[in-house]
Structures are given as structure tokens and as C-alpha cells.
Structure 1
Amino acid sequence: MTNRTLSVADAIRTRRAVRHYRPDPVPGADLETLLDLAIEAPTSWNLQDRSIIVVSSEEGRAGLTLATGGQPQPQEAPVVLVFVAEPWAWREDRSDVYAHARGNGAWSEEFIAMFSTASTAFQAGLQDRGLLREYAVKDAMIAASFVMLAATELGLATSPMNGWDEALVKKAVGIDDREDLAIALLVSVGYPAERPRHPGRRARSRNVYREHFGAGW
């Protein structure tokens, strides 16, 4: 049953990575909600330099199964979300981004002019240091995290998937000719056929420090 009263804290504590799924389809309204919430995730310089490809066809999921070395998630989950990073988004026309901010009363004309110049200079600096892909992947991963928590609130299970061949993932989603795009993460979505127990986490004192790495909290 869909749980629409789960707090963010409870979603964080109860979310588990699920590898096996029931064949029940994800309701269209819930999928739309997940996508809308993913779009709301923070994004550096408001570039929104990530895309989500929704894969639900048998052919598409078979391609992702191949790309992931036969992992069960694409075979069993009715939906797999492919998060694509767009390192070169900063070179594209961003007038719609500015129009939304202007229309919402969030940014003034003066701020937009300053922001456009500063963000372009920042991205050019990333390009010089070979960090464009890294920054875009970070944005995509943040969006994926939002999806996983939102799915938990909706009673859906997810699994962030690693261990895939990027070239094969790109082929499966029709962007094998796009060297300007990068695959950030695959996230399976569906109803769980298992209820994994929480394996536990190390004590906070093991990996939370004050001011400097290794300094006790």
C-alpha cells in the first residue's frame, strides 16, 4: 500500500536497495511525481545539466540487463531510470531558465546578467581543469537521491545501480553517438519482492569529524 505520510527522516532510515521486484507496474501518477521531484533537486548554477531517461519497455530493459552484466534489477523492475549527465549544458541557450526565475520573482535583471557571466566563467574554468563531467555527474546523482527518497515515501522500492558498461547503457537508451553525454547512475523502480534487512552503519564517531579529517566529533 502506498504510504504518503512518511517523513523525510523515516524515508532515509527505511530505504533499502532492492534487487528483486514484483511485476506490478508503477502507477503513472506515481512515476510522474518521482520525475517532478527529481527535477526539483539542487543543481549547480541552476544549469539543470542532467536528464532522466525512463526505460520500461522489454527491449529497453533487456539492453540495460546486458549493460549491467545480467543484474536482476532491469529484468524484474518495471521501470529503470537512467540519469544522464550533460557536461556541456552551460554552452546551450539558458534563456528559459532565466525566464522562469524572472517570472517567479526570484532573480532580477541585474542578477541574471551577473549570474550568466559568472556561471559561464566558472564552467570554463572547470573545462580548463577537466572537471566538467565530474560536476555534471554530481548534479545527476543528487537528482537520483531525491528519486530514491520520494519513491520510499510512495511505497516503491529502488536500487542505485553501479557496475555497468557505459557504452552499452548509451546504446540501450539511444545516445551511443553522444560523446558529450555521460551516464551517472541507473535506478530501478518498482514494488519489492524482498524486504532486505538493514545491514547497519558504522558509529558516527567512525566517519564524522570536526573541522579536520580524523578529528573526533
Structure 2
Amino acid sequence: MNSQRLSVPDAIRARRTVRHYRPDPVPAALLEELLELAVEAPSAWNMQDRSIVVVTGETGREGLSWAAGGQPQPAEAPVCLVFVAEPEAWREDHADVAERAADAGAWNAEFAAMFDSRAEFHHLAERGLLRENAVKNAMISATYVMLAAASMGLASAPMNGWDPAKVKKVVGLGDRDDLAIAVLVTIGYPAGPVPHPGRRPVARNVFFEQYPNGGGSRMTRATDR
């Protein structure tokens, strides 16, 4: 295990999506720290409307591989994290969230009152965007996990291509239609080196002030006009 931690920029550059893993277990202390960092991720109004199911047992990981159409990552990696989005969590009692924020001096009375009103969530509900909002928050937490893992010398893979009903069945959420599976992330040590596939130049996907449309070239930035 590499005890030298990478900085955030270095972790971003070092991170790879790894499909094959060594069987070496993730040390309990590292996994605990990884999960602590995951829940530090921001969420809208600090509602924390996402949870993580930590799957380390062989039966559960094989089940997640089955749920993902036979993809090898969950079966090979010693840890698979299932990020669960909770679109209806805003309706629950969150007095502890407000109390912690007030005690820390992070929220004033006006902001706490806005939090209590849940006005933004009522608007999201009216527009049918509660699930999208919760999934976004879960994905932010998953990104924290992947970068933290890279900083610790661990590999990860954000997974797509799974059947949400099957994933729910594996992790005990088969009858919870109020919950959504946001993403699966495997964690472990890579079986071998994984080359960087490369990225397009920044100018290909980064624009200033406005997105180019109409007949303009996608390569054009606002500053190039």
C-alpha cells in the first residue's frame, strides 16, 4: 500500500476506470476514511438525499456482477459501492441537519427558515425533477469517492449498464420504488496498469459565456470571436 497521498489535481490526473482487480482486500481503515470523505460531498440544501450501500461479501458482489450483465468489476473488486438516490428524502425530518448548521455558525435564521420551508423541493416536485436532483447529489458523492480512492493508491470504476431492479434486489431494496440507483463504483487494487485513453483538447469542450450554436463551429470559444 502506497502511504504517499496524491494531491487533488494529481488524483484527478491519475484516476483511471479499472475493470480488473487484484483480490487484495481494501484495508478497513482506508475504506472507513473513503466513506467519511464520500459523505462530505455537497448536496442541494445539504439535504444529503443519497446513501451508499457497501458490498464486500462475495455473494453480494457476484450478485451485482449479475445485475450488471456479467461485467467483471463487482465480482473482482473487493468493494462495490452502490449509490442510492433518495428523491423523497426532503419530506422527512431534517432537524438534525439544521441544528448542526446553526451550531457551526454556517446558517443564519433566515437561511434555516428557507430550509424548513422546502420551497425549492416543492418546485422540483411540481416539475417532476426530484429524482434528477437526488441522482445529481449521489453522483457528486461518487465522484468524491473516486478521487479520494485515487489519492490513496486505490483504483475505481464508475459503472453503467446495470439493471436497476436487479441491483435493488441484490442490496435489499426490491420493493422501494421511492428510491433510485444512481451509480455503482467498484474499489480495489488494479490487476495491471491502465493507460490513459486521452481526452479531447480543452477548447473542444470548454466555452466562455455562451455555448456555440447555430452555424458556429464547436471549436469556437467566446474569446475567439
Give the whole-Å Cα distance in 2 for the aligned partners of 1:206 and 1:58. 43
Give, in angstroms, the shift of residue 56 of structure 1. Answer: 0.6
SS of 2:167's equivalent in the other structure is: helix
Normalised by the size of structure 2, how large is the TM-score? 0.93
Alpha-carbon contact 1:18-1:194 (below 8 Å) kept: no
Residue 65 of structure 2: aligned partner: 65
SS of 2:63's equivalent in the other structure is: helix
Alpha-carbon contact 2:5-2:153 (below 8 Å) kept: no
Q: Alpha carbon RMSD of aligned pairs, Å?
A: 1.1
Residue 8 of structure 1: aligned partner: 8
Output the amino acid matched with 2:36: D
The structure 2 residue matched to 1:208, chosen from 206, 209, 214, is: 206
Give, in angstroms, the shift of residue 4 of structure 1. Answer: 3.6
Matches within 5 A, 1:39-58: 39-58=39-58
Normalised by the size of structure 1, how large is the TM-score? 0.96
Give the whole-Å Cα distance in 2 for the aligned partners of 1:195 and 1:16. 9
Give the whole-Å Cα distance in 1 for the aligned partners of 2:92 and 2:147. 30
Residue 132 of structure 1: aligned partner: 130
Residue 93 of structure 2: aligned partner: 93
Alpha-carbon contact 2:80-2:186 (below 8 Å) kept: yes
Q: Please identify, of 206-215 and 154-163, the stretch whose mean Cα deviation from structure 2 is larger.
A: 206-215
Matches within 5 A, 1:159-178: 159-178=157-176
Residue 145 of structure 2: aligned partner: 147
5+ residue gaps, structure 2? 213-219
How many residues in Structure 1 have an aligned counterpart in Structure 2?
215
Give, in angstroms, the shift of residue 3 of structure 1. Answer: 4.0
Output the amino acid matched with 2:204: R
The structure 2 residue matched to 1:157, chosen from 150, 155, 158, is: 155
SS of 1:74's equivalent in the other structure is: helix
Residues 148-186 of structure 1, C-alpha deviations (whole Å, 9 max, x = no match) = 000011110000000000000000000011000000000
Residue 84 of structure 1: aligned partner: 84
Give the whole-Å Cα distance in 2 for the aligned partners of 1:5 and 1:142. 21
Output the amino acid matched with 1:133: R
Residue 216 of structure 2: aligned partner: none
Residues 50-79 of structure 1, C-alpha deviations (whole Å, 9 max, x = no match) = 000000111111110110000010110000
Residues 11-36 of structure 1, C-alpha deviations (whole Å, 9 max, x = no match) = 00010000000001100000011100
Give, in angstroms, the shift of residue 2 of structure 1. Answer: 2.1
Give the whole-Å Cα distance in 2 for the aligned partners of 1:107 and 1:179. 33
Give, in angstroms, the shift of residue 195 of structure 1. Answer: 1.2
Give the whole-Å Cα distance in 1 for the aligned partners of 2:3 and 2:155. 12
